[in-house]
Structure 1
Amino acid sequence: MDELAEAAGITVRTLRFYRERKLLPPPRREGRIAWYDEHHLARLRTITALLDRGHTLNAIAELTDAFEAGRDVGEVLGLPGAPTEETPVRLTPEELADYFEGEVTPENLQAALDLGYIGTDGEEIVHISRRLLDVSATLVREGVPLAEVLSAGRQVRQHADAMAELFLRILRTHAPDTDVEKLRPLAKAVVEAELSLAMDRRLGQS
């Protein structure tokens, strides 16, 4: 414990306090010896970084609970080998806080976990899509609350699922021998064109 506290730049008393608050997972024990590893050190550095960014210990505890209750990276990204055009992004909790400064609340974190946008892999956070991450961060910087971004994402997900099912049903019915991956760009082109036209119509009405 002394060695861990020194490496993390905190006092042993503070370390014990974090353990009592269950902010730190228990050590591995061999008899009467307690062993801490790099994961404990990473967790302590994360706590320090989040405190420096203005998060309270209560908020950090809630964030930790949300992460530990969330799905791991395998569940978020789907079955191994599943085709995808999206690029996952690995982040530390501090980097996630920097993306959405002031918006990384337990409620928003849980919503992102529920949507499958993020998962955990050890001490890292994995966002399922670089494009979604960048768009979400841009909207937040423009003044849209992250809670609204996530709510919109949930609605878009429903429509996107319906459109994907429509395309797959058409292909399976009328072109069962066609490689679906080859026609994926066609489906995307139709959706992008229709969305562009829909935006034109809505803007023309305003």
Structure 2
Amino acid sequence: MAELAGLAGITVRTLRFYRERKLIPPPRREGRIAWYDDHHLARLRTISALLERGHTLNGIAELAEALDQGRDVADVLGVEPTEEEPVRLTPQELAARFEGQVTTENLATALDLGYLGTDGDDIVHISRRLLDASEALVREGFPLAEVLAAGRSVREHADALAELFAELVLRHGPEEDMERLRPLARSVVEAEVSLALDRRMSKRPRDIP
């Protein structure tokens, strides 16, 4: 326990408190010996990162319970299911996709956004398209922390667009029409983003021979 606390940068007293609050899973026991592993250390580092980001211990305890029960963290955070295809990954596979950038801070941000959940020992990403796009951006040289920050900003705009579409549908029909008309809304948004990128690129200064 002392070794684990030292690696996590906390006191043994704090570690005992976390155990009592069930913020970390119990250790593997062999007789009177309690064995902790890398999963316990990763959980402690995630707790520290979440505390630094302003989360309460009660909220972290709820997330920890979801992790231990194999529930999707997105459920706990109130993220509704979508038509996006989730992706199941081992921790090693996730680390390989974002080599050197799967830090405690980035994991905490991804949890906070609801991008990541768990199912047993596996990690579940909420969307294959988001995962693939994030990986591609990182391979292009963009820091994962900045990609996640951009994702948070994009989500805010996407929520506003979804609200705009919902209000339009509800003014002219029942709520059930939203799912039926969803592909049309997506087409409009994709076309507008594409046109906006064209306009943005056209403003770039051109080289004059």
TM over 0.5: yes
| Distance change (3 Å), C-alpha of 1:116 and 1:98 | same
Superposed CA deviations along residues 3-27 of structure 1, whole A, max 9, x for unmatched, are: xxxxxxxxxxxx99559867x8434
Distance apart, 1:90 and its partner CA = 1.6
**What corresponds to 1:76 in structure 2?**
74
Alignment of 1:175-194 (within 5 A): 175-176=173-174, 179-194=177-192
- Structure 2 distance, partners of 1:172, 1:93, is 43
TM-score, normalised by the number of residues in structure 1: 0.68
The alignment's C-alpha RMSD in Å is 3.7
Superposed CA deviations along residues 55-103 of structure 1, whole A, max 9, x for unmatched, are: xx97785147669948434341579xx6521111121211111111111
Q: Percent identity?
A: 55
Question: Aligned partner of 2:145: which letter?
Answer: A
| Distance change (3 Å), C-alpha of 1:186 and 1:20 | same
- SS at 2:72 equivalent: helix
- SS at 2:117 equivalent: strand
- Structure 2 distance, partners of 1:135, 1:184, is 22
Task: Say whether the 8 Å CA contact 2:85–2:128 is kept in structure 1.
Answer: yes
**What corresponds to 1:87 in structure 2?**
85
Distance apart, 1:130 and its partner CA = 0.8
| Distance change (3 Å), C-alpha of 1:78 and 1:191 | farther
**What corresponds to 2:45 in structure 1?**
62
Specify every segment of 5 or more residues in structure 2 that has no aligned partner in the other structure, as ranges: 8-14, 16-23, 51-58, 205-209
**What corresponds to 2:20 in structure 1?**
none
Distance apart, 1:107 and its partner CA = 1.0
TM-score, normalised by the number of residues in structure 2: 0.67
- Structure 2 distance, partners of 1:172, 1:35, is 62
Residue-pair matches, total:
173
| Distance change (3 Å), C-alpha of 1:144 and 1:28 | closer
Alignment of 1:149-168 (within 5 A): 149-168=147-166
Question: Aligned partner of 2:203: which letter?
Answer: Q
Task: Say whether the 8 Å CA contact 2:90–2:121 is kept in structure 1.
Answer: yes
- Structure 1 distance, partners of 2:112, 2:81, is 22
| Distance change (3 Å), C-alpha of 1:170 and 1:34 | farther
**What corresponds to 1:98 in structure 2?**
96
- Structure 2 distance, partners of 1:144, 1:181, is 35
Specify every segment of 5 or more residues in structure 1 that has no aligned partner in the other structure, as ranges: 1-14, 49-56
Question: Aligned partner of 1:205: which letter?
Answer: K
- Structure 1 distance, partners of 2:72, 2:147, is 24
**What corresponds to 1:26 in structure 2?**
26
Distance apart, 1:115 and its partner CA = 0.8
